[in-house]
Chains A and B, each alone.
Chain A
């Protein structure tokens, strides 16, 4: 994410932008800004997010 690499939605050929997205885990709903296509809404979760913040959140929801 730190680099300026451009991520493009293959379907809409638009560059992804950080936008609100809804997630659920263990019946808890929450929103977070992640990269997604401004047209079709396709989401991109990079590995560092999945294994970093997301995994931490999963862990804390499992103990809540």
Chain B
């Protein structure tokens, strides 16, 4: 897990915006802007005052370095933070300092010089309730400020902001030697430009921090214009030294950073299209309304690369660091009674499309963390199995004797090629596989059929061991066929083969069709190619699909978002079982990108779009002129039957073998209306499960009669699900029934005999 968690250290979700990096005071700009934009100027002022200590002086001295890095400035006017700060100051009636009730501290601090930097250090340290004494050689406070600012302005600031603080000011007291300051725990030397430095300008702390030293248990720090700061930075430095000295007194470590904190966000990360011009201050200063408008222009620069592209983060309105914390909490070992597992559903919703890592400037693999989280939950036996139950059983059917077919062509043993159509193509469009295999055999008669599931449902369910075992089996089967080149039809299978079975040579079906010159008829229509998320690293496959389409005479349009970012259709990761609304949200977002019909080369994408009413064709449908999905999508029951029929057809057609696959027989027959069949499909209930339930209820007499309608109801637990059937007996003796309704739930009904308090669980053991 460490591998996935470590890159989060560099996550820029909470990185300071560009302007804060350029601000000497590192003002909490997001906080300031939020308050200013809603017109709460007093609250905005407090943010500004907390950052600058002396707000009037800061406002008068500041030349707005923030504006130089504002992304709005690239194409227009940067946010006028200088005017906003001025407005916060002017529109706040009560600018007096807040008095905090903090117990006094015993440590004594001396400040040499009552210039701007010294006064700033005094403000911070006296607010922390240290005993502070200031030594000023002249007869007034302010130092160099007298030459550059109106004395009334800065004196008012000093007076107002220091109003609640106790300190001692020694005017007309020049310190000539530091030995005069015995008894102090820390000394701040801010004697101004060309002032006395007491040798500190040459000194450095043990970690190399300049302008600080420790002698006989006293810490000495120099700052302000003495060390070359401009007045603005002298103020900021004085405020910062308050924290430095506080830290020194608490830890005795000479940590005095002078480097400026910069944002790690790189230039160009925040793009603003057509920014509006800055609000002009009609009267020289902003009114409240003007300030609100200008603050609203700020785009609140924060890295949102993953959130801008990941559908899950958008749908759940979550930030990556929060997601990380939830996954860590959820996957921590421990009893669920003792700890929260907030990300159980969230982890299972992820589409595993990989866009998060692709767009993240720090390569944070949120997608990998989601998958690892599922695996950890699986190991602990805590995976919410119902999320993956349906697909695992579907996979079992695809890999069973009923549907799987791994065979060399008739009369051959070792093969040069093997067609791997995947498990869903044959379930959706079985005829396509027959036609495709026929075409391939015509070109290369040593092409084997490798019909089964790639095992990805196991991987997505977090069952890594099961997946590895499946891969080992797969490898063996490939060796048995003479190590053929695998022709992969499904991009998802392709992605996982390349990752987990790199030793097996693979080629994508679209590329091979081009290579072998297999093309279809003519189709003079306009389509847009929808690239599945698993084709992100498959440039050859993507191009081959486009070339195949053009060969058919198709005019192609582009999908700006999908063709650049390879967004998921919503099926990936099997997230729909964890949250159907989310899967639909994703599918709708994808189809809203263009009204042009889509060409897909993943059958899951095609089926997803058809279900949403979007016209979509698999590229093979267009090449072979087959395919009935656009007229009628098979239900989940029909899909499993399609696989059986496909196997029978393939055996008959290519191996001249008759094989009647045994279907599970029940002593009953159940009539199911087409409306109910649709409902069963939507709720992922197989007709076989209904037969099983009714048979079970009839055999055990476990039914409930509705006297009014004469219908019977009963349930049966299959796997992790409980299925309910409401039905009518048409001819009970002949085992003929009619389904009236069906539904299912995940909650298990426990111990029917434990009821009404008569029997306890223990009585049954």
Contacts and interface: CB of A to CB of B under 8 A. Distances in A.
A50 B752 CA distance: 17
Given A9-B704, A22-B754, A38-B756, A43 B341 contact: no
Interface residues on B, range: 35 or more
Contact of B748 (A10, A24, A40, A42): A24
Interface residues of A, number: 40
Interface stretch (B351-359, B426-434, B532-540, B707-715): B707-715
Interface in B707-733: 707-709, 712-713, 715, 722, 724
Interface string A42-63: 1111010011001101110011
Nearest to A27: B336
B345 A62 contact: yes
Interface of B: 336, 340-342, 344-346, 382, 384, 578, 701-709, 712-713, 715, 722, 724, 741, 743-757, 761
A42 B702 contact: yes
A21 to B, nearest CB: 6
A58 B744 CA distance: 12
A19 B756 contact: yes
Given A11-B701, A20-B757, A51 B743 contact: yes
Contacts, number: 112
Given A20-B757, A25-B748, A6 B708 contact: yes
A8 B702 CA distance: 11
B750 A45 contact: no
Interface of A: 3, 5-11, 16, 19-29, 36-38, 40-45, 47, 50-51, 54-55, 57-59, 62-64
Nearest to B342: A63
Given A3-B708, A5-B708, A64-B342, A45 B724 contact: yes
B685 to A, nearest CB: 12
Given A7-B705, A64-B336, 12 more contacts: A16-B704, A20-B756, A21-B752, A21-B755, A26-B336, A36-B752, A41-B756, A42-B702, A50-B744, A63-B344, A64-B342, A64-B344
A37 B753 CA distance: 11
A64 B715 CA distance: 28
Contacts of A50: 724, 743-745
A7 to B, nearest CB: 5
Nearest to A30: B747
Residue from B382, B384, B745 whose CB has the most chain A CB atoms within 10 Å:
B745
B706 A64 contact: no
A47 B60 CA distance: 71
Contacts of B761: 22
The main secondary structure of chain A at its interface with chain B is mixed
Contacts of B344: 26, 62-64
Given A25-B746, A47-B743, A58-B746, A10 B342 contact: no
A26 B389 CA distance: 14
A40 B704 CA distance: 12
Contacts of B750: 21-24, 29
B578, B706, B755: most-surrounded residue (chain A CB, <10 A): B755
Contacts of A11: 701-703
Contacts of A28: 336
A47 B711 CA distance: 14
B755 A36 contact: yes
Contacts of A43: 715, 749, 752
7 contacts: A20-B755, A27-B336, A41-B754, A43-B752, A45-B724, A45-B745, A47-B741
Contact of B704 (A20, A42, A64): A42
A51 B724 CA distance: 12
A7 B747 contact: no
